[in-house]
Amino acid sequence: MKYQVSQQAAAEVQAACIVVTIDQSGKLSDAAAVIDQASDGFLSKRYEAGDIKGKTAETLLLPGVSGIAAARVLLVGSGKETPNTTNAIKILNAVAAATSKYEGSVALALSELASEALPESWWAEQTAIAYAHASYKFTETKAKPEEEPKQAEAVIWLGGDVDTAFLKGSAIGEGINFAKELGNMPPNICTPTWLAEQAISLTADSALETMILDQEKLAELGAGAFYSVAKGSSEPGKIIVMQYKGTDASEAPHMILGKGITFDTGGISLKPGLKMDEMKYDMCGAASVFGTVKALLALKPKINVLAMVTSAENMPAGHASKPGDVVTSLSGKTIEILNTDAEGRLVLCDALTYGIDNYKPASIVDIATLTGACMAALGEVNSGLFTQDEDMAEQLQTAAKYSNDKVWRLPLEDDYQELLDSNFADMANIGGPLAGATTAACFLSRFTEGTPWAHLDIAGTAWKGGAAKGATGRPVSLLVNYLLNK
Ligand code: BES
Ligand code: MN
Ligand code: ZN
């Protein structure tokens, strides 16, 4: 999709469709009023006839409006008051869904909706993300259609100079779509080896260096926690290390680390069968890291980023770990595995140690579909944010607000640590039935001492169930904004 900026009048712009707005009191935007005048009051008549009420994201398509250069007018409701973040994104998604298939270009007269809180550049950025969303469909494992689906060629923004915002939004949109694609891939294709291949493909860009650590090498290094999960599968586990180099090598990188369990059966602590297929999404933390790398490569910010993925399949097998096993992590700390279904923290802890020891990162964010408890607490709206570092919390909350890729801070106090006590090892891998999302974060915190660190539990936000089942691409938008603010 191309993005252009123009100052043409709304009635004169040549396009397959022009998009203008009306609010819930029936007030047309200035651009809509121009079209109304040129068409002998056609838009006001539609409002008076009750065809549209002006509710947030309501749409009315009007083809062949006389006196207008564009082939169609899409009238969109802007709601009661100046749209807030959530409503703005609803409006843009409705606009993109309605117009993205038109052959030719789509003109958007939306700049009047901008406010101090949501400036025009923010609207433009979100517009590009909305069009990326609208263009995404998972087709990889379906029979190929004879014709490629149509897509609009260009979006023409009627307003100020927002070119850089479009570049940023397009990069984030592509990153999100990449994350969705990886998340949606079936687990017989999307294995740790396949994820490693994705990382190698991204290395075509010289700003990225990739290194793959395989399971045997990791066992040799002493990554016993990672190995205890990976060894139960005949698909070999991998830790994938991608270094994005945007500035001087002397500058410490910011580390992001994604959980990449390509399928989580629970292992010997086997999960119930219902909806077990959804455990293919247990690599969505990894997918968000890949999506973020993709966006970084498009935007080339002057920062260094250490992007890591820790990937394995969690299977029951003769050579799988058992409840009661004690393993030694890469840090030297021992772990009693009381439940093999708490595997995410086991693969993450060794990757955290590896990253810290070898690359001395300035900060770390890990992203993981870690606990059902977090999903129960926050649903599909907010990702869980855990950190004891107030700066990290602030930075992530700021980026989350800006991108509408929301987070909610949950406790990570030392008082919870004792729930991980074990009689047989330095810690257990589960903390019992209470505060499950927090005890998982407490476990990880023991492997990040000395480095500013935050944990995002995306179990509820990384995919949707039901009819619209699929990966969401979250929290790519949050991560990209967080890193760009560095
Ligand atoms: N991948 C799951 C967490 C999960 C569950 C994500 C449901 C999304 C939906 C994780 O590996 C897991 O199994 N966690 C256990 C931990 C428990 C054994 C302490 C859980 O949440 O039940
Ligand atoms: Mn599990
Ligand atoms: Zn899992």
Consecutive H or E run containing 473: none
Question: Which residues form the catalytic set?
Answer: 271, 345
Residue 378 CA: which ligand is closest?
A: 1
Torsion sign (Cα): 460, 462, 468, 470: negative
**Whole-prediction pTM value?**
0.98
Which atom of ligand 1 approaches the CA of 440 most closely?
19
Q: Measured from the CB, is residue 342 less than 6 Å from ligand 1?
A: yes
Query: 370 CA distance to ligand 1 centroid (A)?
Result: 6
What lies within 8 Å, CB to CB, of 419 at 6+ separation is 431, 432, 434, 435, 439, 442
Atom of ligand 1 at shortest distance to CA of 439?
A: 19
Question: For a substitution probing ligand 1, which of 280, 341, 427, 464 has the most ligand atoms within 8 Å of its CB?
Answer: 341
At position 406, the amino acid (one-letter code) is K
Q: Looking at ligand 1, which atom is closest to the CA of residue 436?
A: 19
What type of residue is 483?
L
Q: Are strands 304-314 and 254-264 parallel, antiparallel or unpaired?
A: parallel
Please, which residues have CB within 8 angstroms of residue 280's CB and are 6 or more apart in sequence?
183, 185, 186, 187, 190, 262, 263
Check the CA dihedral 258-307-381-452 and report its sign.
positive
Count of alpha carbons within 13 Å of 256, Cβ hemisphere only? Answer: 28
Count the residues in the chain: 486
Identify the CA nearest to 323 among candidates 306, 303, 342, 338. Answer: 338
Between the CA of 67 and the centroid of ligand 1 the distance, in Å, is: 59
Q: Whose CA is nearest to atom 16 of ligand 1?
A: 342
Cα three-residue angle 381-182-163, rounded to 5 degrees: 70
Which residues, including other chains, have CB under 8 Å from residue 50's CB and lie 6 or more apart? none
- Residue that has been written with the tokens 């609208």 in this structure: 134
Q: One digit per residue, pLDDT tens: the chain, 486 residues?
A: 999 999 999 999 999 999 999 999 999 999 999 999 999 999 999 999 999 999 999 999 999 999 999 999 999 999 999 999 999 999 999 999 999 999 999 999 999 999 999 999 999 999 999 999 999 999 999 998 878 888 999 999 999 999 999 999 999 999 999 999 999 999 999 999 999 999 999 999 999 999 999 999 999 999 999 999 999 999 999 999 999 999 999 999 999 999 999 999 999 999 999 999 999 999 999 999 999 999 999 999 999 999 999 999 999 999 999 999 999 999 999 999 999 999 999 999 999 999 999 999 999 999 999 999 999 999 999 999 999 999 999 999 999 999 999 999 999 999 999 999 999 999 999 999 999 999 999 999 999 999 999 999 999 999 999 999 999 999 999 999 999 999
Residue nearest atom 22 of ligand 1, based on CA coordinates: 372
Strand partners, 383: 407
Q: How many helices (H) and strands (E) does the chain have?
A: 14, 19
- Reference 381, options 440, 469, 462, 436; nearest CA is 462
Sequence-distant (≥ 6) Cβ neighbours of residue 106 within 8 angstroms: 15, 16, 17, 18, 19, 99, 100, 152, 154, 155, 156
Q: What is the DSSP string of 275-333?
A: TGGGGGGGGHHHHHHHHHHHHHHHH--SSEEEEEEEEEEE---TTS--TT-EEE-TTS-
Per the structure block, which two tokens stand in for 208? 């990225």
Which ligand number lies closest to the CA of residue 371?
1
Bridge partner residues of 256 (DSSP): 307, 365
The ligand with the least distance to the CA atom of 337 is: 1
- Domain annotation for the chain: domains and CATH numbers: 2-160 (3.40.220.10), 172-484 (3.40.630.10)
Q: Is 369 in the pocket of ligand 1 (CB under 6 A)?
A: yes
285 lines ligand 1 (CB under 6 A): no
CA of 205 to the centre of ligand 2 (A): 34
Dihedral of alpha carbons 448, 453, 454, 455, sign: negative
